Chain A
Amino acid sequence: MSYSILIVDDSATTRAIIKRSIQLTQIATDRLGEAADGRQALQLLAQGGFDLVLADLNMPAMGGMEMTRRMQANPITRDIPVVIISAEPNAEKFAHDQAGVRGCLRKPFTPEAIRNLITQVLGGADV
């Protein structure tokens, strides 16, 4: 099975690293989308087709938590799992408290940590 994953982070470097980490782990992907903030992400998500969102918390236009709240309010995006990848000191607490967030990874991260989390969230041995 192959997945479409949206990477949401205001750092272009981090988006590139997450993308590369996913490619290194050989998780089969149809599409690796990118957005620089929550607002851009919601526009892409409204088009449909994404299986997972990897999002930072602290972004200039719209952060990961507000994006997740809006995803929860929209029937099209409500069931897409969100994983927080952030340096935010309180990331785990936010991730724990927010419906729709299925995991949290602190920066800096390793490719193995990304693979483990995606495998856990998407829940398949064929990830």
Chain B
Amino acid sequence: MVAQILFLVLTLAAIALFTVNLRKIIRNIRLGKPADRQDQPQKRLMTMLRVAFGQSKMVVRPIPAFLHFFVYIGFVIINIEVLEIMIDGLFGTHRIFNGLGGLYNFLIGSFEILAFTVWVSCAIFLIRRNILKLKRFSGVEMKSWPKSDANYILITEILLMSAFLLMNAADAKLQLLGASHYVNAGAFPVSQYLINILPSSESALVIVERSCWWFHIIGILAFLNYLPYSKHFHILFAFPNTYFSNLEPKGEFTNMASVTNEVKAMLDPSFVPAETEPGKFGAKDVTDLSWVNLMNAYTCTECGRCTSVCPANITGKLLSPRKIMMDTRDRITEVGQNIDKHGAEHQDGKSLLDDYISREEIWACTSCNACVEACPVNIDPLQIIMELRRFAVMEESQAPGSINAMMGNIENNQAPWKYSPADRFNWAQES
């Protein structure tokens, strides 16, 4: 009874804490500017099913795709087991679903195989990061916390799977001993090999089984609450992020409606623009970005596929699209914390541009869309870079000198080079 109450309290506390943090993140995302991503619901749904559920963009790199698939499918399916653990924990039952008979054995057997493949995949991931030191996982933005974060996640998953398998092994041994409360249920294709390393006394086995059971469920609850602080948040946000992703051709950049009004008024003095709220052009800080950009930042799992295909980064420039996303998340988190501590009106005098992302980074981008194409969850770092450029150019007139010269030429000669408009048709005369 005490165990059941403890279980209930722990579960409720974990869910409550997670809800509080999740709501804060949703509030932070809503600090972004509006963006219409409600159109074409069917196409959006299909995109989500294909890219997030179907992992279609992972297959470009087969080895991590294969390993990630095991971890993903393991996560989704082993969670059915969590449902049983929840019911058992609340009602003091043991393996409540064993009434399913053959199906139950099949399920438990499958979970064990999946748990094993998750275990192995995570171990290989750890080796790739820490021993093989793959280039994709390094970079200026991958020091300290982001580096540890990745390792914590992998180690936690290995521990959770170990506890699950050890729990089953102890359970299986108790079933063999005919211990009361331990009904004959389940198939143990993996944990049967662990039986021999366990003690043989019934009381010791019960301690092992119960410890692993508690470790497993407390681990899951703790992991749930780790998500909001971690890159691992993608396991939840990948779904809305792909649903609300851009459906238009990647080459198309949004036309700023506020500018359209001004340009129309300049070309036609009789034009009366519709009322729009005065705001700044482009983005200096995260709150000038759209909510989609901010959701992108929370979704990023820092895999570095974007950076590894970025022509600027490949050739040694400072720009890293992954860093753009990580900076955006760090800054919106900071803005959120400021609101929690000092109220909504507080200004800390910092901004995304300059305090997090430098001018050198934004001016290194070729707008080639390789980063957008590479992202397995449809994140768009390019849009953030363009918004920062818009601010630098339109609010501050702070573009590199040669860019200013190019724009001056367009204004004066209608071409980015210094040629006379009268000579535009000369190509037809020569041959």
Q: Do A and B bind each other?
A: no
Q: Mark A residues whose CB is within 8 Å of B.
A: none
Chain B interface residues toward A at CB < 8 A: none
